[in-house]
Structure 1
Amino acid sequence: MVKKKFKQKQKEKVAQDPVAALTPWEAYQKQQQRAQKKSKPTIEKKLPRLKKLRRKNLMGRLAFLLTLFGVVLLTALYFVSPLSHVGLISVSADKHSTLAEQKVIDASGIKSSDLVLGVLLHQDKIEKRMHRREPKIKEVTFKVHGLRNVELKLKTYKTMGLLMRHERYYPILENGAIASDSTAQPVNNHSVYRNFKAGKKLQQMIKQYRQLPTTVRNSISEIQFSPTKLNPQRVHLYMNDGNQVYATIKTFAKKMRYYPDIAKEMQKKGTVNLEVGAYSYPF
């Protein structure tokens, strides 16, 4: 009777738990499958997250394309509008500049039909053109105001003297270059240079002249290049006080510094020779 009850309970247990009817290995595999099903999310659960992620990526791409299209459209509108072209051209220069504004603008070659962006991208090319057309220009800075107004800020070479050529006076710049504009009469009390040609000798002379104190420079009326066989660098100076000076280009700045002291000791107007040593004698 007891055995029958035990067998009946086993049958009921098997009927309630099908795993119990399997072999141990089959039961283990069944349990692993159940565990995997519980741990893995279903497609139904994944689907809303995937839709949300795709929507986010789509909106990001759409925003990028709209921004890119907007930039391209605004750029195109800018280039076809008057705002992209040069409006007003102004010139500002240092205090010793003698250049007329229109002459600077002509030297730049910038026109109202030019693009502002083109001017900014070709600053070096424009500056080289200005140096070539107008030697007085030392440095140019470009500035844009109000989107389309271009300002040319100049630094210019100082004038160190006037070169006498064919009865005309041409400015000699501090770098030794000769400006193209000329006058029939000397201006601004600059020293006049005669018998010089553009080149090494004139550049050496200007370099020496620049080293002199302002008071000595202002006392020189005229400088003539008058070489001899013994001294191929000789210069002949006419002073504002009536004296004359002979000197050598190579030692000009060093010796001319003593001219004011020598002139004070002279009892009469005469000649000061600074070629070899330093001495004076009356006319």
Structure 2
Amino acid sequence: MTKNKERTSLLRFTDRLPKLKRHHKQLHKRLFILITLFTIPLLVTLYYISPLNSLSKVEVEGNQNIDSQEIIASSDLQVGQKLWSQYLDREEFTRKIVQELPRVKNAEIKFSALNQFKIDVTEHEEVSLLAEDEKYYPILENGEVVRQPEERADENKVILENFNSQNQIMSTIENYYNLPDEIQSDVSQINYTPSRNNEELLTIFMNDGNRVIVNISNMEQQMQYYPQVAQEMDDNGIVDMEVGIFVRPYDENSTEDEQDENEAE
């Protein structure tokens, strides 16, 4: 009789064992959830009051002609201020860079470390130079003139002179860079020389000693004929492409300034 009771008690305990295990697991699960619910807000709070939530450093990459500190200053990013609020407004900071620095084509702010930013910069290419008062100002691919004078001209860039409109500059540059390489390399300088009846007129100084008079709008088309025309010329002179193509010699009795005036009329 006693053995039967012991056997019955053992069976009942064995039946209850899986239930106890499940209950134990449920307790662990609830405890984990409670710990998580309390821990996450605590960690978030600690993060927001820690130095990790403040911008500690800003670096710049991709800049060639602009000082890194100038780019950082123009962005208005503030080291020591809240990290995420500045990151969420990163498009506004990059817009300030592009607006204040004409050389910058576009900029992008990224994380470079846990609480550090990197500004990736792409600069506009310098395509020519504007001559003014015996100094040379870089002209960018968008026609913008950078008002940072250079004492010497870069021999690899064509020189523009007497231009006062960004649209004129852009149109001239676009036409010039559409010319064949051999014609581009033979151009030393392009002057804007409008006449009373033609506001598009250019005077192009060639390395071979000739000058070409041509309209901005048909410069690309007309200049294609220059190599053939120059080859047929016995002496240096003026190739007038304003209307058709005419060649005339320099007036040996005129000064260079007088020649320029005559060409502009």
TM-score range, shorter chain: 0.7 to 0.9
Is the counterpart of residue 102 in structure 1 residue 30 in structure 2? Answer: no
CA distance in 2, matches of 1:262, 1:73: 83
Is the counterpart of residue 75 in structure 1 residue 44 in structure 2? Answer: yes
CA distance in 2, matches of 1:266, 1:82: 76
Structure 2 counterparts to residues 167-246 of structure 1, below 5 A? 167-187=134-154, 189-246=156-213
User: Is the 2:209–2:236 contact (alpha carbons within 8 Å) kept by the matching residues of 1?
Assistant: yes
Shift of 1:55: 10
User: Is the 1:178–1:198 contact (alpha carbons within 8 Å) kept by the matching residues of 2?
Assistant: no
CA distance in 1, matches of 2:178, 2:134: 28
Shift of 1:91: 2.2
CA distance in 2, matches of 1:275, 1:107: 45
Residues 1:181 and 1:214: Cα distance change in structure 2 (over 3 Å) = farther
Residues 1:181 and 1:64: Cα distance change in structure 2 (over 3 Å) = farther
Deviations 1:163-188 (A, max 9, x none): 23344322211111222322233235
User: Is the 1:92–1:151 contact (alpha carbons within 8 Å) kept by the matching residues of 2?
Assistant: yes
Structure 2 counterparts to residues 244-283 of structure 1, below 5 A? 244-283=211-250
User: Is the 2:54–2:81 contact (alpha carbons within 8 Å) kept by the matching residues of 1?
Assistant: yes
TM-score using structure 1 length: 0.69
CA distance in 2, matches of 1:57, 1:219: 86
Q: CA RMSD in A?
A: 3.1
Structure 1, 208-217 or 143-152: larger mean CA deviation = 208-217
CA distance in 2, matches of 1:260, 1:88: 56
Which amino acid in 2 is paired with 1:210? Y
User: Is the 2:188–2:205 contact (alpha carbons within 8 Å) kept by the matching residues of 1?
Assistant: yes
State the secondary structure of the residue aligned to 1:153. Answer: strand
Deviations 1:72-111 (A, max 9, x none): 33233223333333334332227xx422333322332323
Structure 1, 150-159 or 254-263: larger mean CA deviation = 254-263
Is the counterpart of residue 144 in structure 1 residue 81 in structure 2? Answer: no
Shift of 1:234: 0.3
Please list every run of 5 or more consecutive structure 2 residues that lacks an aligned counterpart in the other structure: 1-20, 251-265
User: Is the 1:134–1:179 contact (alpha carbons within 8 Å) kept by the matching residues of 2?
Assistant: no
Shift of 1:268: 2.3
Q: Percent identity?
A: 29
Residues 1:109 and 1:239: Cα distance change in structure 2 (over 3 Å) = farther
TM-score using structure 2 length: 0.73
State the secondary structure of the residue aligned to 1:144. Answer: strand
User: Is the 1:177–1:198 contact (alpha carbons within 8 Å) kept by the matching residues of 2?
Assistant: no
CA distance in 1, matches of 2:82, 2:147: 30
Shift of 1:135: 1.0
State the secondary structure of the residue aligned to 2:154. Answer: coil
User: Is the 1:247–1:273 contact (alpha carbons within 8 Å) kept by the matching residues of 2?
Assistant: yes
